Chain A
């Protein structure tokens, strides 16, 4: 099974800061990697799919990059409404797929 790790597990940053989260897969997953945002008490929300594609309606301050085993998620200018936990998720691109989530990164305001 493919294992996903994320770092850091939590971070505190100021409004306007650039925030970067990394996600690593235990083996090559090409670009089969999505990013979700989950605010407290709410369902997750898809932000980025296929490593770098911004979901429709998601602000452009969110971005993703990477391929293979190493991926990065960036918030270019942290806003108060970005307080949430962010999860990476890999899929194995098979019909049907198996999905695996990373452990999550909690982001709050300093």
Chain B
């Protein structure tokens, strides 16, 4: 089964951007969709968006539209999440998570996240 390895912790200034990576190994990257989920300190899980790497197009939760960009590089089996205009409320652990793809009538679906990275801590502080 695929394993997801995330980049290291980041400390950023308010107003800047952060880009977190998620590298897949041990499986077929192209058979997965990758989602990004964040968790602020002491809070619950929040889905930010996802991407199907074989297509390269991402979709986003309405809350993050315009501020988050999710991309994927099939050649390196790596997905990325970039969050801009950072503010203190963006301080959180950011997880990438994979879900297996299924195809129905030419469309690709994914229904859950069964493989998770260990998380990347992003701290936004002046």
Residues of A within 8 A of B (CB): 1, 32, 34, 36, 38, 43-46, 49-50, 55, 85, 87, 89, 91, 93-104
> How far, in whole Å, are A97 and B60 apart by their CA atoms in the complex?
9
**Chain A residue at smallest Cβ distance from B117:** A43
Interface size range of chain B in the complex? 20 to 34
Q: A93-B109, A101-B47 are in contact. Are A1 and B114 (CB under 8 A)?
A: no
Known: A50-B111, A95-B109, A97-B111. A44 touches B45 (CB 8 A): yes
Provided the pairs A43-B117, A44-B116, A96-B50 are in contact, do residues A101 and B111 lie with their beta carbons within 8 angstroms?
no
Which one of A49, A85, A100, A102 contacts B112 once the chains associate, using CB atoms below 8 Å? A49
Q: How far is the CB of A104 from chain B (nearest CB, A)?
A: 5
Nearest CB on A from B112, distance (A): 5
B residues with a Cβ closer than 8 A to A are: 33, 35, 37, 44-47, 50, 52, 57, 59, 61-62, 95, 97, 107-114, 116-119
Instruction: Return chain A residues, CB-CB under 8 Å to B113.
Output: 44, 46, 99
| Contact (Cβ within 8 A) A96 B116 | no
Task: Jot down 12 A-B pairs with beta carbons below 8 A, ordered by A.
Answer: A44-B45, A44-B95, A46-B112, A46-B113, A49-B112, A49-B114, A87-B44, A89-B112, A95-B107, A99-B113, A103-B44, A104-B44
Which one of A46, A98, A102 lies within 8 Å of B59 (CB-CB)? A98
